[in-house]
Structure 1
Amino acid sequence: MQHAGLGENKMDAFGSHAGGSGKLDSSQREQLMGQVKSQIALANAQELLQKMTDKCFKKCITKPGTSLDNSEQKCIAMCMDRYMDAWNTVSRAYNQRLQKERHR
Structure 2
Amino acid sequence: MIRVVLDNLNTHKAASLCEAFPPEQARAIAKKLEFHYTPKHGSWLNIAEIELAVLSNMCLSQRIADEDSLRREVDANVRERNAKAVPVKWKFSTQDARRKLARMYPCVST
Structure-1-length-normalised TM-score: 0.31
The higher radius of gyration belongs to 1
Determine which structure has the larger strand proportion and give its number.
2
Determine which structure has the larger helix proportion and give its number.
1
Structure-2-length-normalised TM-score: 0.30
